[in-house]
Amino acid sequence: MTGTDERPLLTIDGLTKWYGRQLGCRDVDFDLYEGEVMAVVGESGSGKSTLLQLLSGQMEPSSGCVVYRQRDGSIADVWQMSEPMRRFLFRTDWGYVHQDAQLGLRMGISAGGNVGERLMAVGWRNYAAIRDSAKSWLDRVEIDSNRIDDTPRTYSGGMRQRLQIARNLVTAPRLIFMDEPTGGLDVSVQARLLDLLRRLVADLNIAAVVVTHDLAVARLLSNRIIVMKAGEIIETGLTDQVLDDPSEPYTQLLVSSILPV
Amino acid sequence: MTAPVYNFAYLDEQTKRMIRRAILKAIAIPGYQVPFASREMPMPYGWGTGGVQVTASIIGPDDILKVIDQGSDDTTNAVSIRKFFSRTAGVRTTTATREATVIQTRHRIPETPLTEDQVLVYQVPIPEPLRFLEPRETETRRMHALSEYGLMHVKLYEDIARHGHIATTYAYPVKVAQRYVMDPSPIPKFDNPKLTDCPALQLFGAGREKRIYAIPPYTPVVSLDFDDHPFEPYRHDAQCELCGAADSYLDEVITDDNGSRMFVCSDTDYCETRRATGKGAQQSAPATEHRS
Amino acid sequence: MLSLEVAGVAKTFTMHLQGGLRLPVLQNLEFAVAPGQCVALSGPSGVGKSSVLKLIFGNYRCDEGTILVRDGDTMVDVARAAPRQILSLRRRCLGYVTQFLRAVPRVSALDIVADALSDLPRETSRARAAAMLSRFNIPERLWNLPPATFSGGEQQRINIARGFLPEKPVLLLDEPTASLDAKNREVVIEVVREHKRRGAAIVAIVHDDLVREAIADASLDITRFAAAA
């Protein structure tokens, strides 16, 4: 236990977003600790995507705060930071995996360039080192390093998603946000991706917030879960607790709607 | 029959003032792209309307103007811009680099070293070096503002990955005064070393894109590169077949349908001056044979 | 000194999808387990034996009462602990042995078992996982394959091996021997005795009388705590 910081990595307090008179989400509170994976579930329109955007610093909340413990141990409200700081955080200490890989990748740039971009952004200026790092990351996400100079256009859906993950993890972030990471993939491809994510998150001790409508994904990846409905958290707890012993009517409905495997 | 009466150098004084203000701002923030209200000019975009407006705003009656297009004084573009200013401003024109006080250029920097008494005006088609990688103007402006230039190296990375070396040979990106990344306009990267620490003021005008930027005299300008793939100016491994110069940027000229070719200086003034002072190529016979 | 202390525990399920139907399961549940002791839960099926284990493990929420689990010098109340504390407790102090495999795609049998010792270096955890798999008579040729395609019995033994591998202070056994052959049942008895000797407190659901007699020090009839519906 020596040397580890017991304070939360991310503290969310009263996070609320209004789109005019339309509610995005309201009064969201939770703490996320190092290495924890939090799933946010709910149907479309429940506010889970709004929440992810607020958490990841992409959209400013109407009220409430997102407080992050930085590598040096200092605590900062993401929306009180200067924009350069926030953007720096976003491309070094944080990652974001989009459901649509086209949003998370540069489709006209080779896989190596996609993975290397974050390194170059933090000042890496040695081509060979950047390329070696890109190769080892492609290897970790099970992409043949012979494909390093191909653009993601030539990749399958599952490969694109894995490339996106490599692109995010190359700077060893401590926190990663994922928006339906397995959405739109074939079942077999999903299984492979989930397994990979599960392993990487555990090996690298990364904290993650995963938005998904798929409770099976939540069960496999997450330790904790938030159930959202109409913009509010209606139930939260350990993932297996919420899924095995759901207390809210809506959660019971969600759980009972899973197709038996 | 009265010839139309133009204001001095075509543009009205208000417009020139507006452009000068943009130029001053550009000089104050080296490498930063200053937006300006680009005017319609009596020539199509792509013919140097940005450069012409900058020239029109800084030229005075005593100035001597030289205009080059890819190093040459005698192409249609160069000739017509020269004529434009001698007609509308009545200024003297020249082809001699040493004589000129204002040099408007498309895609080259003269070989003859410039002096503190000269201004070099570049015509710029696309001022934004990041556009190839990030098409959103809002985003590229923010990247400049925050010095987020990692993306520029992604472009160079792609070059090396594809070609084994940095294959960008013109419009090679530079960093000006350790701050802004700038597109030096489509000059060959051979000319990049001339950008830095240059005694002359360098102004860049993009008419269609409505941007002006500048490199003040004696400003450090660094070509971007990797530690293990350093910047290298490229030059054909040959001598000019007309003047024998081994240090100038060469054009490759195809001389017949059989693939015969020759290398000649791209800077016509430089080449002619050398020949006039007796520095012509020793074996000029084979070269001239292909010409005629 | 006790390893596990359960007091005044009540659990009711509310089935909102059936018009808010309330299903009381347990009330005033009370028992304690000392280190090295094994308590077997008894009672007819459906009386709530599995619910007891799930309450202790934190899978089910506890409506009333306290569930204290020893963590070194302190007792952690699972009924009130934050999710993070429960996760940490499970990682270090609470083991759950069940036959039911939560299949993880594409992970080999050896790694599924070795993952239970994720705090140890890979080499060590694999070596110990291998030893445990051999004890449960899983042929070596299967170790590097994902168990999704194995026979039911093999999957069951892999899960049990995984559950018994880490040496945690409190172990919950949910029918570890059901449908095992005699040979493997003997292995379970042996392994449970080893855990008891090193001081584990064990709560077990065991239907097999022979096994129960071989491992249990006390029997607790859950019928006594069954809530009146």
ipTM of the complex, rounded to two decimals: 0.88
* Percentage with pLDDT > 70 across chain B: 94
Query: What is residue A42's DSSP assignment?
Result: -
Nearest Cα to B246, choosing from B270, B230, B214, B227? B270
Q: What is the pLDDT of residue B133?
A: 84
Q: What is the pLDDT of residue B2?
A: 59
Question: What are the chain A neighbours of B139 within 8 Å (beta carbons)?
Answer: none
Quote the mean pLDDT of chain B.
92
Are chains C and A in touch, 3+ Cβ pairs below 8 Å?
yes
Question: What are the chain B neighbours of A83 within 8 Å (beta carbons)?
Answer: 142, 146
Q: Quick: pLDDT tens for C40-81.
A: 999 998 889 999 999 999 999 999 999 999 999 999 999 999
Residues 6+ positions from B155 with CB-CB distance below 8 Å: B132, B133, B168, B173
Q: How far apart are CA B224 and CA B235, in angstroms?
A: 18
Cβ atoms of residues C29 and C65 within 8 Å: yes
- Contact A255/C at CB under 8 A: no
Give the E-state strand segments of C101-224 in sequence order: 170-174, 201-205, 218-221
Binary contact (A117, B150; C-beta < 8 A): yes
Nearest to C59 among A33, A198, A244 (CB): A244
Assess whether pLDDT exceeds 60 at residue A256: yes
User: What are the beta bridge partners of residue B226?
Assistant: B229
B contact test, residue of A83, A115, A120 with most B CBs within 10 A: A120
Assess whether pLDDT exceeds 60 at residue B281: no
Question: What are the chain A neighbours of B158 within 8 Å (beta carbons)?
Answer: 109-110, 113
Q: How far apart are CA B33 and CA B25, in angstroms?
A: 9
This prediction's pTM: 0.86
- Contact A253/C at CB under 8 A: yes
Amino acid at C121: P
Binary contact (A128, B162; C-beta < 8 A): no
- Contact B146/A at CB under 8 A: yes
Q: Could you confirm whether B265 is annotated as catalytic? A: yes
Binary contact (C61, A241; C-beta < 8 A): yes
Q: What is the DSSP string of B225-275?
A: -BTTB-------SS--TTT--SSS-EEEEE-STT--EEEEES-HHHHHHHH
Binary contact (A244, C54; C-beta < 8 A): yes
Tell me the three state secondary structure of residue C179.
coil
Q: What is the pLDDT of residue B291?
A: 39
Structure tokens that stand for A81 in this block: 């930071």
Min Cα–Cα distance to chain C from A179, Å: 21
Q: How far apart are CA A59 and CA B226, in angstroms?
A: 35
B33: left (phi over 0), alpha (psi -120 to 50) or beta: beta
Assess whether pLDDT exceeds 90 at residue A116: yes
Binary contact (B228, A126; C-beta < 8 A): yes
- Contact C81/A at CB under 8 A: no
B278 class by beta-carbon count within 10 Å (0-12 exposed, 13-18 middle, 19+ buried):
exposed
Q: What is the pLDDT of residue A260?
A: 57
Higher pLDDT, C193 or C122: C193
* Percentage with pLDDT > 90 across chain A: 77
Structure tokens that stand for B269 in this block: 């003034």
Binary contact (A125, B153; C-beta < 8 A): yes
Domains of chain C: 33-61+80-225 (3.40.50.300)
Structure tokens that stand for C76 in this block: 């952690």
User: Which residue of the set B198, B205, B243, B244 is catalytic?
Assistant: B243
Min Cα–Cα distance to chain B from A135, Å: 12
* Percentage with pLDDT > 70 across chain C: 97
Binary contact (A241, C17; C-beta < 8 A): no
Binary contact (A149, B162; C-beta < 8 A): yes
Q: Could you confirm whether B243 is annotated as catalytic? A: yes
Assess whether pLDDT exceeds 50 at residue C162: yes
Q: Quick: pLDDT tens for B103-131.
A: 999 999 999 999 999 999 999 999 999 99
- Contact B158/A at CB under 8 A: yes
C50 class by beta-carbon count within 10 Å (0-12 exposed, 13-18 middle, 19+ buried):
buried
Quote the mean pLDDT of chain A.
92
Q: Quick: pLDDT tens for A15-52.
A: 999 999 999 999 999 999 999 999 999 988 899 999 99
Q: Could you confirm whether B198 is annotated as catalytic? A: no
Q: What is the pLDDT of residue B292?
A: 37
